[in-house]
Structure 1
């Protein structure tokens, strides 16, 4: 009798432990499970609070975050929802529209073609696309990639206006007769058309569609699986719903847009994890050589001698403690993204969300600060001492 009582007490405990162990194994084997490194527990908890406050204050439905240090992911998870209507949670594999961060892929592709000797960034665009209508001034590939070529920028509503365009070539042709708004290399102005031209140039050189070139040269080489063009009428697993604000700032479903013609500048879906992996490629030579890293890091100098806060494809600047910062911010209808790279600390922070507008940027600096306080505490203390004197 005593033996039976012991067995009745013991068996449920064994069953519970087996279930718990099974859950642990499942979580470890699930690529989609959040990543939290215990060493950075305090920084992660503070950052999660910041992101949740941001979701509430900015009415952002959902987002994903990824933080890596020296090539290792220390924090990655989805926060909020990928779909308000279905109440589907955002996860690490949720694909968001990344807006202008799509230009990272274009700058990488052009840099790879340059490394392979298939083009020269200092040469005229017309050398590679001779049929493009002649402008008053010539412009180079470097000027296109550094946003100093003289082309006007795109308005958000143009995406809806141009929704009947079928491909990149039609977008390039739509604006090919525009005049330059300033002489190249005398001024800086972000223009999505710069990267559309670099995309069509890559197609001319590579004899393939832009998306295939990016896939073959960049994504497949790095084993990046969740980054692709936002094909409008194709079922894409884990694609987030897209949201927008109307004229009185109410959250609404984003209007339907065709992102395919804008692939080199606005048209990609991605995850915070994938963006982080892409950003890590410029921390040290490897995927790119040192000459290319310098191209991404060094500020462009205008013909008059002034430096702008742009390199080839990136924002090149410093943070409030004078730490080197390479960044990329992206926004489009229905999505936004942010990438921050601190090369000296080997810190990379990436964010994606399913709300795109001009109201405010994603809080990437706030997240980075939490980890920099741990990685580079003396820097902050020394700078604060100087400012107090």
Structure 2
């Protein structure tokens, strides 16, 4: 049996039968490197960084593999990678903060905060857009490969601001990163401040996320990983992209420890009020009563169960209880995963610098969650 497959079964056995032990960091340090090294044997897993938080503190952070196949530099715990769509839950935290301050009406039409988002056939609310039920389209054409730099959020949303809605809001679920770019413009209108300033003041500074930033190509990030795609069965540096049009939809970079620190801030009230956490985490439904798989930004346990079926990882079902919330991220040459377990006060963050490595992150993340829950 493949070593990593064997480790899966060991983890699940621990989850269901083993006695509780005291030192999660030591348990992870004894088991995770072996599992990750097995994943690194794949040509689609170039480098990986992982961090685990429990009971309010980071208990494990490490990097593995190669940060850049051209330079040969290695990945460390300090390596920054693209968080992709985990940016959406970063932004959801600002929604929570402005909602608590009475500055944001989730059911108001987006264009009441963003005049440049022209009036549509139907009104679309922030609440609907945040659950991917707003009728706003996702990428089209070569937008994902954008190389043009946008100086402001408002200029970036012009990609989609004049387009018609693709369905009546509330009637369907269709994933949309542009919806979150529009939400970031609405947050600017509600707070009367630039989106990146709001993110820094409301989220990154309070949570001491010192290694998290918008991936602005006009700035230098010495600790930023290279990113990779496959060419002729080998990893090569991914094409250049400029993500300035989608900070909220998928444009931030961070260390795994910062992402896990963000997750820990959502396991219990403090950073956000109890009712706000309920707001963000409670699954929304279509008008016909179908579950969306999303709260305000956050993906729900039902969404994870569907993903496990697609990935052939249904043996992990026992660790995915109804309170688990999460988000994945995919960007040019990189993938990311954040798992947050409020019931056990656990947050797990993983990132990889190859665009095809998500299955490896999901296996590793759930294996890690099984060990962390066992240590509760």
Structure of higher CA gyration radius: 1
What secondary structure, in the 3-state scheme, does the structure 2 residue paired with 1:83 have? coil
RMSD (Å), alpha carbons? 2.2
- Tell me the equivalent position of 1:349: 348
Aligned partners of 1:112, 1:48: CA distance in 2, in Å?
Answer: 37
What secondary structure, in the 3-state scheme, does the structure 1 residue paired with 2:41 have? helix
1:300 to partner: Cα distance: 0.7
Change (3 A) 1:363 1:353: closer
1:377 to partner: Cα distance: 8.8
Alignment pair present for 1:198 and 2:186: no
Change (3 A) 1:87 1:295: same
- Tell me the equivalent position of 2:164: 179
- Tell me the equivalent position of 1:21: none
Aligned partners of 1:55, 1:156: CA distance in 2, in Å?
Answer: 32
Unaligned runs of 5+ in 1: 1-36, 379-389
Moved beyond 4 Å, runs of 4+: 37-40
Structure of higher RCO (CA pairs closer than 8 Å, 6+ residues apart): 2
1:249-268 aligned at under 5 Å gives the runs 249-268=233-252
- Tell me the equivalent position of 1:80: 65
Aligned partners of 1:143, 1:230: CA distance in 2, in Å?
Answer: 27
Deviations 1:6-34 (A, max 9, x none): xxxxxxxxxxxxxxxxxxxxxxxxxxxxx
Alignment pair present for 1:216 and 2:216: no
TM-score by length of 2: 0.84
Aligned partners of 1:90, 1:342: CA distance in 2, in Å?
Answer: 26
Alignment pair present for 1:294 and 2:278: yes
* Count of aligned positions: 340
Say whether the 8 Å CA contact 2:66–2:72 is kept in structure 1. Answer: yes
- Tell me the equivalent position of 1:383: none
Change (3 A) 1:77 1:376: closer
1:146 to partner: Cα distance: 0.9
1:43 to partner: Cα distance: 4.0
Aligned partners of 2:238, 2:370: CA distance in 1, in Å?
Answer: 35
Unaligned runs of 5+ in 2: 1-21, 306-316
- Tell me the equivalent position of 1:375: 373
Larger deviation: 364-373 or 269-278? Answer: 364-373
Aligned partners of 1:161, 1:101: CA distance in 2, in Å?
Answer: 19
Change (3 A) 1:280 1:166: same
